[in-house]
Structure 1
Amino acid sequence: MFRRIASLLDPFLLALVATVVLASVLPARGAFVPLVDGAADAGIVLLFFLHGAKLSREAIWEGARNWRLHLAVLAMTFALFPLLGLAARALPFLPVEFGAGLLFLALLPSTVQSSIAFTAIARGNVAAAVCAASFSNFAGIFVTPALVALLMGGATGGFSWASAETIVLQLLLPFVAGHLLRPWIGGFIARHKAWVGKVDRGSILLVVYAAFGAAVVEGLWQRVAPLSLLVLTLVCLVMLALVLAATWQTAKAMKLPREDAIVLLFCGSKKSLASGVPMAGVLFPAASVGIVLLPVMVFHQLQLIACALIAPRLGQRDPEQETAA
């Protein structure tokens, strides 16, 4: 078990921690701030352009057939999770900033890569997982900003036409452009998947550095106590446990086939760090982005550890044993 958990400490996680440390020790100041912010904005645009280019039209049409499963995933992602986020924000022992971060976490779409990988390990319906995770990310471009505006208007400084314009220019247009150009660049992206992944992660690290650097300059670590981080981790664990239980019980109530139940379990319980980082950079003031992202980063690692323990067990079980899972 410990070896499996240790294997999740991949280079990207270590790079993420190193980026937070670097931003804490050497945040961008003075004339470097516009340069770093401009590079971070460019990274967001590139990230969503690549997301659009990677989403195939075939996956969209194929996924539309299994509508009951996809509606269930979307309900978990954008209905159950937000309710849990609202409950977490109301906890009296959490700092206000962490409450806002937990609610933002709850409004994000599902992950893509890890949801598909864990579905495959658990011997679930991989094709449905690809469609469900892709649909969630596509819907998140519209649904997440709308939910943030509805539930977190005060935390974002209000939802103005200027913020809507930023979302369109930095998130939606690059995504649509990438998808429309897929017939010409899709093959190139597929042949250079490793490099595309490095660009994805590099963009995320750049946004994290800019966000945490701005927060550190505003006194982030003076406002966050170690005990608060421990409490945040425990709250994230409870949220994850509740959603994992809810997805599995919902699959049983819907009488989904075992392979589709596994898809709902993994796609419906995940939240995307890859989408959360750039969206936070667009939706929140620069000084508050760093602390809002802390719950997202904590939950991201916890969901990887939990699913790494669950997926192999499901993959080794016979269908008759699923009730005891």
Structure 2
Amino acid sequence: MPSLGPLTRVDPLVRLLLVAIVLASLLPVAGTWRPVAQGVSNAAVFLLFLLNGLRLPRADVLRGIGHIRFLVPLVLWCFGALALAGWGLSLALASWLPPVVALGFCYLGTLPSTVQSATAYCSLAGGNVANSVVAAALLNILGVFVTAPLFSLLVGSEAAAFDFGALEKVALILLLPFLLGQVAQGRFGHYVREHRQLATWMDRTAIAIAVYVAFSGAVEEGLWGRVSLGDWGTLIAGVSLLLAFAFGGAWALAGSLALRREDRIAFLFSGAQKSIAMGAPLASVLFPAGVAGLVLLPVLVYHLLQLVLSAPLAARLRRE
């Protein structure tokens, strides 16, 4: 039986997210400091996507685009089937959860895949790591363009309007730094590769800052009073249902496409996992602080549970 190594321990990003939530609950940023904190969060998100642009080789992007038989069904699954499943759960749970938390299920469904953890578990399971890296990266690039308007389309413009102001924020804070990173990759990309550990911690810190600012606003709006113990039970049950559909459906769809086993494993982890690295920064850009924290609750629970499920699943696939 292969050792799971660091994947069996608590993920460092999970620890940082828990610290951010506890800190926001005890010391939420409020009043005149909130615009300052939002500015710091936006700057951190800008840096996060700049590093992503420097890190992802353009050749990998172009090569991944050519794998149509693998990539097109994956995109349709991630932004089609899972988006509709999240939307359906948001409607089904609207009378059981606070409305903004229920909307978070639809937001969760429209998010792209993870990059780092999907690749790590794909490697552990004996899958096609190259396909996993390229697919997850391309899904995240598409997510910059697709997630916000798709979410607005599904829930209705009254619940989540997506206008030119929101598009401008997404372009300036997410897309622009990524493109700058791609342009500067030849000159500065090697610094990111040579200091990979530092870049990874900068990624995690940027995500934690976005979560802290979002949850601070939610705490100021009465988060812990609005979400009861029963609501948490319903939230976890709903996320577990979506998680089972995501993993089971991705595996079945990849099998129906007659993909090679290593490609099927890559499809599973790239198609079933959802990205807190995209979800938290994008929520901080799209929603007011008090709303963003509540919308992120399903995303945070899903992120934790997908890590709990993926480690033993990857080990089992490796043994088989």
Pairwise same-fold verdict (TM > 0.5):
yes
Q: Which residue of 2 aligns with 1:46?
A: 47
Contact 2:16 2:204 in 1 (8 A): no
Q: Does 2:97 match 1:63?
A: no
Q: Which residue of 1 aligns with 2:8?
A: 7
How far apart are 1:104 and its partner, in Å? 0.4
Deviations 1:105-131 (A, max 9, x none): 111010000111111111111111111
Counterparts in 2 of 1:1-325, with a 5 A limit? Answer: 7-91=8-92, 92-152=95-155, 153-156=157-160, 158-317=161-320
How far apart are 1:151 and its partner, in Å? 2.0
Alignment CA distance shift 1:14-1:75 (3 Å): same
Alignment CA distance shift 1:250-1:10 (3 Å): closer
Contact 2:148 2:162 in 1 (8 A): no
Taking structure 2 as the reference length, the TM-score comes to 0.94
Distance 2:231 2:208 in 1: 24
- Further displaced range: 239-248 or 296-305: 239-248
- Further displaced range: 63-72 or 252-261: 63-72
Matched position secondary structure for 1:30: coil
Deviations 1:282-307 (A, max 9, x none): 11122101011111010001111111
Q: Which amino acid aligns with 1:175?
A: F
How far apart are 1:231 and its partner, in Å? 1.1
Distance 1:254 1:293 in 2: 33
Q: Which amino acid aligns with 1:129?
A: S
Count of aligned residue pairs for this structure pair: 315
Alignment CA distance shift 1:301-1:19 (3 Å): same
Contact 1:84 1:106 in 2 (8 A): yes
Distance 2:295 2:66 in 1: 37
Deviations 1:21-50 (A, max 9, x none): 111111112232222111011111111111
Distance 1:29 1:135 in 2: 37
Unaligned runs of 5+ residues in structure 2 are none
Distance 1:219 1:132 in 2: 39
Matched position secondary structure for 1:90: helix
Taking structure 1 as the reference length, the TM-score comes to 0.93
Contact 1:40 1:210 in 2 (8 A): yes
Distance 2:186 2:246 in 1: 37
Contact 1:72 1:264 in 2 (8 A): no
Contact 1:155 1:284 in 2 (8 A): no
How far apart are 1:6 and its partner, in Å? 8.9
Distance 1:226 1:18 in 2: 21
What is the root-mean-square deviation of aligned Cα atoms in Å?
1.7
Distance 2:121 2:261 in 1: 14
Distance 1:65 1:244 in 2: 25
Identity value in percent? 38
Distance 2:163 2:241 in 1: 34
Matched position secondary structure for 1:271: coil
Alignment CA distance shift 1:203-1:6 (3 Å): closer
- Further displaced range: 15-24 or 263-272: 15-24
Unaligned runs of 5+ residues in structure 1 are 318-325
